[in-house]
Structure 1
């Protein structure tokens, strides 16, 4: 089973809302996480994306990116969202997807150093929500933009000695 498939299984078990929302992890390349969600399971009374569902998918993408980046460093830890805001720019009128990228395309040096020295760190992330077929290179503007800070505590090696 691939790293992404194992992580999909984990979030479905540990975050039941992700399964209810129909969140599917599409790709992780070490720099960006791409996930999708169907409109039907996430619609509001007007037939467009429910704000809470869109927010939850965006938080899941940013949280997931943090978890996967830690794993790529050979670490595990307690990852939580400290703060988050979202701007809804356009209605979500079809299936949607979220892209969350590492700042500057890589794990920030300050974050790495803090994890190494203190076993904790903070990561500020942006997740963009788009409508349509999932791609890491969208040719349209996002319908929503999430900004959040994620905190990692108790970071330690994934391998026990």
Structure 2
């Protein structure tokens, strides 16, 4: 089983809501994670994407990117969202996906040093939400933009 497939199973096992929402991991290239969800189980009373579901998919993309980045460094830790905000730019009218990228397409040196020295670190991330077929290179503008800080504690060799 691939790293992404194992992580998909872990998310569904450890975060049952992700299974109910239909969250799927599509790609991880060491720089960007793409996560999607269908509109149907995530609709609000107006037939568009429920704000909480859109937020949850964006948080999952950023949290997942942090987890997978740690794994790529041969590390494990307790990853939690410390804070996060989202701007809803347009209604979500169809299946949607979030793309989260490492800042500058690499793990920040400050984050690496903090993990090595203190066994913990903070990572500020942005996840953009788009409509349609999941892609690491979206063709349109985002319908929502999440910004959050993720804290990693209790870092150890994985």
Aligned to 1:95: 95
Matches within 5 A, 1:7-156: 7-156=7-156
SS of residue in 2 equivalent to 1:111: helix
The runs of 5 or more residues in structure 1 that have no matched partner are none
**C-alpha displacement of 1:139:** 1.2
TM-score, normalised with respect to structure 1: 0.97
Hey, what's the Cα distance between the residues in 2 that align with 1:122 and 1:78? Answer: 12
Alignment length (residue pairs): 158
Residue aligned with 1:70, SS:
helix
State the 1:28 CA deviation: 0.2
Unaligned runs of 5+ in 2: none
Q: CA RMSD in A?
A: 0.4
- TM-superposed CA distance for 1:75, in Å, is 0.2
Q: Which string of whole-angstrom CA distances, capped at 9 and with x for unpartnered residues, describes residues 9-52 of structure 1?
A: 00001111111110000000000000110000100010000000
Distance (whole Å) between structure 1 residues aligned to residue 96 and residue 140 of structure 2: 12
Measured in 2, the distance between the counterparts of 1:136 and 1:31 equals 10
The runs of 4+ residues in structure 1 deviating greater than 2 Å are: none
Normalised to the residue count of structure 2, the TM-score between the two structures is 0.99
